[in-house]
Structure 1
Amino acid sequence: MYVSEGVVSEIQPTSQIIGREPGLGVAMGLLARRCGSALMAALLAFGMAQPAVAAAQQGDPGSAGSLDVAGSSRAPDWDSVPAGPREDDFGTAFRRSLLNPAMLPAGVNDWDCTPSPEHPNPVVLVHGTWSNAYTMWSALAPELVEEGYCVYALNYGDDNQSLVGLVPGLYASRGLVESSTEVAAFVERVLDETGASKVDMVGHSQGGTQLQLYIQRHGGDQTVERVVGVNPNTHGTSLLGIGTLGWTLDDAGSLGIGSVLGSANVSDPGLMATVGLVIGPAGVQQAIGSPVIEEMIDAGDTRPGLDYTIIASRYDEVVTPYTGQFLVAGPGATVRNILLQDGCPEDRSDHLSATYSLRGKELIKQGLDPARRGQPVPCEVVVPGGGQGWPGAPVGSVSPSLAAVGGSAASVTDGEGS
């Protein structure tokens, strides 16, 4: 499903692609209407209508050979950004972030924060593809700050060479390996500013991929103590899953991403190269079998001494199958693979709503704090596409007695590598 070998010798002219794939032409027309003709003009200007020879390079899976033609459109600025209000659902937060692309969750990135004895490790939050820090963490981050954590979040993977990357507020479309250098630099600053020796990290979707890349490529096995992945892409997903994410964002923000992905023929290298120019390299590189994903898998799921918590949902329609998110504990590592619905079938949180579910947030907090594990976990009714307070989602009463992670009810596997 991914062009992992061979040479993508030419990005074909638009007319040839549309002639062979009329559905893509319709999708691009829809994309132009939704995102504006200026964005389509920009896409055409930087080479979609011109032959662009891109020889697949040997070596780094994050190089141009992996369809990574994107660059960062601006240097990261982690200081002079406004704080947004706390939201209770993904949809509202996402729409607000598109109107305020630089916004971050309230309370994050306080560089004067001193870690407490109760929470000595700063917490770094890493969002997923076509998202941003505010969208994913507007509810969780302020809660962690109120509980005494020093919390930090960044927008990474800004990309000015794909169509999606030109939309303000949509980050993490840049190549996976290139983005991992941004995450690593951010963590280094957090350690320097706080004086801490370790951080704990929480990653959603591609954020989970970035956690793995940081640990494997940037010395994170020495600077991370606890890893929490929420619906993380740890072993790759189908492009159908990436396409579903695009359709979901279309519904929330009228972006037209899913239209292009839904029309793509993944067996066509030229077309997939073009799709990468539309959705950004990260969307393509996260496919099952991509060079970056394969190298990450070959490096092993875990590292000695690290504590991993993976929170998955059977209703995750993006990182599929959801069981592929779970990790296998290697020597010296502790892994807790948790299915959100175990002990609480009422919570049907999907890929984008787990960080807003009361249950999801508590499981994240237990992943960060071993002393909290075994305490009751809230259970509420959440419909797919919903979340706490999502319009139309029937919210039931909280029933803390339904599941405690310390027992077997909510934990699919809980083990240590030998």
Structure 2
Amino acid sequence: MKPRTSSRSMAAVLVGVAALVLGVAGTGASAAPPDESIEQLIADRINVAGRGAAVADYGFSAGLSGGFASDTAGSGPVLPAWLAAFGYGLLNPDAAPPGANDWNCKPTAAHPRPVVLLHGTWMNAYNSFAFMGQPIKDAGFCTFAFNYGRSGPVQGGGLPPVLPGVMGTGNIEDSAKQLGTFVDRVLAATGAPAVDIIGYSQGGAMANWYTKFEGGADKVQHLITFGATHHGSTIDGIAALGRAINNIGVDVVGASSIVVGHAVAEQTIGSDFVNRLNANGDTIPGIDYTVVGTRYDEIMTPYNLTFLRQGRGASVENVTLQDGCELDLSDHQTLMYSPRALSIALRALDPAGHPNLACTFNPWLIGGGGHL
């Protein structure tokens, strides 16, 4: 009988192959901190390559573009569990998050800026903010949300949009233009000089693009992001492998966008979108940033790629959700259903009125607003 190869040996072989492809081996294993993962080393190597313009997207899916944004209609219920909210959002794709889109709302002296809520990839306005929307409204803020990046397979959105509640799939640059139109509507309706934005996942990176390239720098005071793909994601190593193959001239990332959509491909680590987004620094002068990541994120990996480096004239607070609260097990999906995440958002919006952070158990994958 032939001896079986141990899983540890197989893992070592796979790691070695990845290291050779990406050039990680050349850095020397002893140079890495003891707690630095192979995935982090791969991410760092791809980022270095991107800054040197060695990474390219070869445009396999070029020519597929389009899509649109839409207003919400009606309001969905407050739901504390992600799974329940996701299902409701699929069946009611145009529902607004609870508390959002009162177009007669006027900001007060205590809360002078309206808050724009931006959903994530393959999500919609409702199921991204079914838990947070009403408490933010109840705290005294005018809140607004819309559905962006509505692109079907023909427009480059991939196959997921065959489900009616799946949005945020089109080119992120187009979605940023859609955000610009929506922000202008909010400012006109409320008379406010600027907005604050809460962006989940793609919504955070898209808002960042809006401030840098679509005239949003003077219209956003505070950008608060949760699990945002500011520096791209390895998606548990899958995207890192695809990017490595791209770097040797085979556009597997572009090809995959036909299935998963432009937005997913753009959010992979080392993409042209990510490189352009951060080419001149992570931040914009005059904007305050609160950036939240969770250690249990299985989509935004490594999770610290979400964090921003503070540039001139900006302020940045990078927050790991579990720091000071190991009870919170929120992953990428349930992050927006975490009482602690909600309290971080409220503190960022109104530090004097909401100085304390919650710390409750929030289960991985299911979510429950602190309850099973």
TM value normalised by structure 1 = 0.69
| Cα distance in 1 for residues equivalent to 2:137 and 2:335 | 19
Identify the residue that residue 96 of structure 1 maps to in structure 2: 88
Query: Alignment partner of 1:125: what SS?
Result: strand
Alignment check: 8 A CA contact 2:245 2:251 kept = no
| Cα distance in 1 for residues equivalent to 2:282 and 2:115 | 21
| Cα distance in 2 for residues equivalent to 1:153 and 1:198 | 15
Shift of 1:239: 4.2
Q: 1:209 aligns with which of 205, 212, 219?
A: 205
What are the within-5 Å matches in structure 2 for residues 69-88 of structure 1? 69-73=63-67, 75-78=68-71, 81-88=73-80
AA of the residue aligned to 1:213: W
AA of the residue aligned to 2:118: V
| Cα distance in 1 for residues equivalent to 2:65 and 2:124 | 17
Query: Alignment partner of 2:245: what SS?
Result: coil
| Cα distance in 2 for residues equivalent to 1:263 and 1:305 | 37
Identify the residue that residue 245 of structure 2 maps to in structure 1: 267
Shift of 1:295: 0.6
CA distance change for structure 1 residues 344 and 220 in 2, over 3 Å: closer, same or farther? same
Shift of 1:361: 0.4
Identify the residue that residue 233 of structure 1 maps to in structure 2: 229
Shift of 1:377: 1.3
Q: Does 1:222 align with 2:200?
A: no
Answer with 282-291 or 267-276: which moved more: 267-276
Shift of 1:273: 3.2
Shift of 1:130: 0.6
Q: Does 1:123 align with 2:110?
A: no
Identify the residue that residue 313 of structure 1 maps to in structure 2: 294
Query: Alignment partner of 2:225: what SS?
Result: strand
Identify the residue that residue 181 of structure 1 maps to in structure 2: 177
Identify the residue that residue 252 of structure 1 maps to in structure 2: none
Identify the residue that residue 197 of structure 1 maps to in structure 2: 193
CA distance change for structure 1 residues 66 and 368 in 2, over 3 Å: closer, same or farther? farther
Identify the residue that residue 138 of structure 2 maps to in structure 1: 146
Q: Does 1:350 align with 2:309?
A: no
CA distance change for structure 1 residues 159 and 317 in 2, over 3 Å: closer, same or farther? same
Query: Alignment partner of 1:83: what SS?
Result: coil
AA of the residue aligned to 2:284: R
Shift of 1:110: 1.5
Structure 1: state its 5+ residue gaps. Answer: 1-60, 244-260, 395-418
Identify the residue that residue 369 of structure 1 maps to in structure 2: 350
1:202-237 CA deviation, whole Å, 9 max, x = no partner? 101111111110110112111111110111111111
| Cα distance in 1 for residues equivalent to 2:161 and 2:58 | 17
What are the within-5 Å matches in structure 2 for residues 15-164 of structure 1? 65=59, 67=61, 69-73=63-67, 75-78=68-71, 81-160=73-152, 161=154, 162-164=158-160
Shift of 1:146: 1.4
1:147-198 CA deviation, whole Å, 9 max, x = no partner? 2111011110011222122321101110111111111111111111111101
Structure 2: state its 5+ residue gaps. Answer: 1-54
TM value normalised by structure 2 = 0.78
| Cα distance in 2 for residues equivalent to 1:265 and 1:357 | 32
Report how many residues are paired: 310
CA distance change for structure 1 residues 83 and 263 in 2, over 3 Å: closer, same or farther? farther
| Cα distance in 1 for residues equivalent to 2:322 and 2:122 | 26
Alignment check: 8 A CA contact 2:224 2:345 kept = yes
| Cα distance in 1 for residues equivalent to 2:287 and 2:69 | 28
Alignment check: 8 A CA contact 2:114 2:142 kept = yes
What percent of counterpart residues are identical? Answer: 35
